[in-house]
Amino acid sequence: MTWATLIADRYQPLSLAGRGAFAEVWRGEDTATGEPVALKRTRLNRGEDLDGRRREVAIMRALRLPGVVRLRDVGVDGRFEVLVMDWVEGAPFPGEPGPMEWSRLRPLVMSLIETLRGVHALRLRHNDLKPDNVLVDLTTGRVTVLDFNLAAERPTDGGGGTPLTMAPEVIRDGVSTQASDLYSLGIVIAYGLLGGWPPEDYVAAAFSGTLTGPLRLQGVDPEAAAWVEALTQLDPARRRLPEPTDPELDANLSALLARAASLEELFLGHRALHHLPEDAARILGERAGDDPAAQRAELTTWVRRGEARLHAHGVEVPRVTLQRLDEPEALRAALARQERAEVIRVAEDRAMALAEVGRLADACLYLQLALVWRPPEPDVAPAAETLAVYSMAQELPAPIREARLELERLYGEGPLSRLLEAYESALNGELDYAEGLAQSLRPFVSEALEIWRVATLVLVARRRGRGRERLTELGPALAARGPVARAKVQRWWGQEHYLAGEYEQATGLVSGVADVPGLRLDERVAATLQLASATLETGRIEDAERLALDAQALAAAARLPLYEARAVWIAQAAADRVDRLHETDRALLAAFDHLSVTDLPAWLRLTLAAASARQGRCEEALELARRCVGNLTVQNLPEPQILATAVIGLCGGEPFDAQAFYERLDRLSLRSVRIRVQALAAVACRAEARLRRSVIFELEYLVADLPDPTRRLELFSATEALEIARRGYWVKKLGD
């Protein structure tokens, strides 16, 4: 197979790395960042299960986990689909030929187990865990799981995989569960211990479906043999991941408690945006008080139940677990007594109370609990519709996917689950699929659900540059539904004016929306953030910063990480516009990267890159700008890509082809002339004389036509852009 073109204008194939029955994998280069990538190319045959292929891509996008190969982008090369992924160095598990001693193998196994736990926490199963799909770099100890081609999320999704690692129930019935992955893990561990596959009699019995017991290894470390036996039990319900012994657990927890100056220091996780240590410490204090023995006993229970993970430097408790641990005493009592009606009542009341103060993620958890305890019923319960609305209102793919899977499990696929899948797909950039799903749905009687059906279509149209057309078509009918719907339409129109560079009109439309009666706290926060963003672009920096900080406080209290991140970014951008942004907060960047979106980390890096460059920290600016471009490989947002590429060029980074970049500006439909003005400065600085003269002439024309060319934009003002183009550089080095 030969390549027809550069993939997505940036990925250059270099050499064939491997070939299978249906796909090739090439080593390539991301020409925008210089990083190596893996290009998996599969022919798109007529009549193929394209929906299944789309689901594979959606699953990989959900897997933003350490230890899982990252999907960067999806492109097309003629009749081939190309998945662009991180290039991972290493060799198939355990990283070298031959048997490996347990002392060396154990850390690799523990890393693999942590990754598998993360996959399962997302309600996914790999379905093809085998040595070839686990790459190990022994020089770094890095373990990476590959190839999610057969991964499944729905209970109805069939099993599959490689016969040598396939669980007995999959061979027998073609049905897999997460326990099937545990069986495969046991065989993978045995492969590392033995330097090859299990004994022939065991393999033959597995193939024929006549196994009578788990895999019992002889001549290996007793602990390793016990792990393999526990993972390869014939009964899936009896398969268990290894746990620390009681003395180990007690000693490790005692040491952690003794070292921690406060309960908050005991816990791992992002403090900024996600507030994990703070919330974990509060819940532990409420349950165990100030007594170290009681705290150790409580933590032991959390670890034993799989609610917390013990690490060398602290205890990790995922957000969803903290939500469960924070349940009220009345609910715990009702659950203990198995009082169905009381569980439902308390859970739904708790959900409504949490939603009132903006805590939608917590509210969703209690709605799911109430739905699970409801008796079987033919119609979708009102709580299910509320769950759908609250999950979409968070505007993050992860909670939407969680709600969709739960509703599909309880009610099967229907209009509600299709609406959730449509909006989730739109957020992930799968525009054709999202639009098709949303258009297949009839208008909902519920105003709240209809808002989100229209929101999906508007989001898709906006990503294609046709938002105004879609709003003109659908907005009036939705606005007639009621004040909440009308406020939503008004905000969408405000966003259209913002994207067109009409900032005064945008602020006029959004002002007052936050005060519309009937809006939840999260909706008021979203409206305030939209107003802050538009206000910033009108030049009222202090007003914008005040609005952003007010919204940040509300979002933090409500544990709305996406909204808090938006508020933080607007406040940082406001500080940058008046040169008050002097250093890069790496912990904050890490917290942004932990969000299940790519645009906000990219915009924050762009803001920090601009500040670093202006202050002469060119290497830091280059690193931030390249990471910004890297953040935007899944959601193809042209504005920050263009601006970050301009920073790379202005700071002397390579690669930068001024002519190609100039041609790219002509092809892209950019938000407004302001983006082009800033990008042209980079072209002029790196172009040959003829193109440089042409760009300066264009800049002079554009700058003269702008209403306020001296106002600072994302990188610099239009007047500064022209000055930079004329003198031929932005910054040289620190101190110049």
Specify the pLDDT at position 9.
76
By the 8 A CB rule, do 423 and 58 touch?
no
HEC-encoded secondary structure of 125-178: ECCCCCHHHEEEECCCCEEEECCCCCCECCCCCECCCCHHHCCHHHHHHCECCH
Q: What is the mean pLDDT of each run of 10 residues along the chain (736 residues)?
A: 73 86 84 86 64 71 84 79 89 93 94 90 90 93 89 77 88 89 95 93 87 91 94 93 80 90 94 95 94 92 86 89 89 92 94 93 94 83 94 92 91 93 90 92 96 97 91 97 95 93 93 92 95 95 97 95 96 94 92 88 95 91 91 72 91 83 78 86 93 94 89 92 92 50
Q: What is the DSSP-derived secondary structure letter of residue 7? A: B
| Contact predicate 136/91, CB 8 Å | yes
Strand partners, 725: none
DSSP state of 514: G
Q: For residues 122 and 401, give the distance between their C-alpha atoms in angstroms, rounded to a whole number.
A: 9
Q: Residue 633: what pLDDT?
A: 67
Q: Looking at residue 60, what is its pLDDT?
A: 81
Helix, strand or coil, per DSSP, at residue 158: strand
Q: For residue 162, what pLDDT is reported?
A: 84
What would the two tokens of residue 453 be?
């059906």
* Residues ≥6 apart with Cβ < 8 Å to 223: 102, 106
pLDDT of residue 70: 86
Q: What pLDDT was estimated at residue 400?
A: 94
pLDDT at 670: 56
Separation between Cα atoms, residue 292 and residue 298, nearest integer Å: 10
Crossing angle of helices 382-393 and 397-411, rounded to 10° = 160
Report d(CA 176, CA 571) in Å as an integer. 48
Phi, psi of 302 (to 5 degrees): -60, -45
CB-count exposure of residue 647 (10 Å: 0-12, 13-18, 19+): buried
pLDDT of residue 45: 64
Q: Provide the token pair at 553.
A: 């406080």
**Residues near 110 by beta carbon (within 8 Å), at least 6 away in sequence:** none
Q: For 562-652, where are the E strands, in sequence order?
A: none
Residue 734 confidence (pLDDT): 39
Q: Are 638 and 668 in contact (CB under 8 A)?
A: yes
CA-CA distance, 117 to 505, in Å (whole number)?
49
The continuous run of DSSP H or E covering 29 comes out as strand 23-30
pTM of the model: 0.86
Contact 342, 334 (CB under 8 A): yes
User: How far is the C-alpha of 546 from the C-alpha of 216, rounded, in Å?
Assistant: 65
Beta bridge partners of 144: 135
Q: Which residue has the tokens 């033959």?
A: 204
As given in the structure block, the two tokens for residue 735 are 């101190």
Do 727 and 736 meet the contact criterion of CB atoms below 8 Å apart? no
The answer to whether 385 and 448 have CB atoms below 8 angstroms apart is yes
301: left (phi over 0), alpha (psi -120 to 50) or beta: alpha
Q: How far apart are CA 449 and CA 436, in angstroms?
A: 17
User: What is the rounded distance in angstroms from the CA atom of residue 729 to the CA atom of residue 651?
Assistant: 8
Rounded distance, CA 573 to CA 544, Å? Answer: 10
- Report the DSSP pairing between strands 80-86 and 35-43: antiparallel
Residue 45 CB-density burial (10 A; 0-12 exposed, 13-18 middle, 19+ buried): exposed
Pairing of strands 309-311, 314-316: antiparallel
CA distance 633 to 598: 8
H or E stretch covering 365: helix 360-373
Q: Residue 598: which of 562, 652, 546, 556 has the closest Cα?
A: 562
Burial annotation 463-500 (CB, 10 A radius, 16+ → b, else e): beeebbebbeebbeebbebeebbbbbbbbbbbbbbbbe
The reply to whether omega before 328 is within 30° of 0 (cis) is: no
Helix axes 599-614, 586-593, angle to 10 degrees: 160
pLDDT value, residue 665: 86
